[in-house]
Amino acid sequence: MTHKSLQSFVGIFIILSHAFIIFYIFYLTKKLLFVNQAIDLLSIIAPLFTAYLVSITKEFATTTPKIKTVQTVSNNNIFINFFYPIVFVLSLFLCIHWYQMEIIESFDNLKKVIGAIEMSFGIYFGIIMDSLFSKKLK
């Protein structure tokens, strides 16, 4: 897989999966969450999502097709760049679902768990996403 293909797949996955989580929160607002609870969850998720969105969109918008050497990436790089975002999105979804199922008993605990997940993915964003969306590596 080329660097550009990996960049596209991971970027689109991160954007769409976060959008899914946000829509899922809105959906639950009608069934389970109060509006102020949905706003609390969105205020935890939105800042990091905005950082991903800006970084990825900037890369996609400023990329111009050029004829140059194709950069391939290793299988380990592909695995890491797909595995962690998938685990991240499933973790967010499961936490919200577990709250719905009353496995996570309080809304405060849900906010803490989601905050911890977002923080851990922020570390991923700082390390791995830089290798995908940094201009200096091209």
Pair 84, 128: CB distance under 8 Å: yes
Question: In this predicted structure, what is the pLDDT of residue 57?
Answer: 82
In a domain, residue 121? The reply is yes
107: its two tokens: 């809304």
Question: Which three-class secondary structure string do you get for 90-138?
Answer: HHHHHHHHHHHCCCCCCHHHHHHHHHHHHHHHHHHHHHHHHHHHCHHHC
Question: In this predicted structure, what is the pLDDT of residue 108?
Answer: 93
- DSSP classification of residue 72: B
Question: In this predicted structure, what is the pLDDT of residue 137?
Answer: 45
Total count of domains within the chain? 1
Residue 136 banded pLDDT, cuts 50, 70, 90 = low
Res 76 pLDDT > 70: yes
Q: Exposure string (b/e) for 87-125, b if CB count within 10 Å is 16 or more? A: ebbebbeebbeebeeeebeeeeebbebbeebbeebeeeb
In a domain, residue 128? The reply is yes
| pTM for this prediction | 0.76
In a domain, residue 66? The reply is no
106: its two tokens: 């309080």
Chain segment 21-55, per-residue pLDDT in tens: 888 888 888 777 788 888 888 898 888 888 878 87
Chain segment 77-135, per-residue pLDDT in tens: 888 888 888 888 899 999 988 998 889 989 999 999 999 998 888 777 777 777 777 65
Tell me the average pLDDT across 64-72.
66
Tell me the average pLDDT across 3-9.
83
Pair 125, 4: CB distance under 8 Å: no
Question: In this predicted structure, what is the pLDDT of residue 91?
Answer: 92
In a domain, residue 91? The reply is yes
Question: In this predicted structure, what is the pLDDT of residue 94?
Answer: 93
Host domain of residue 99: 3-61+71-137
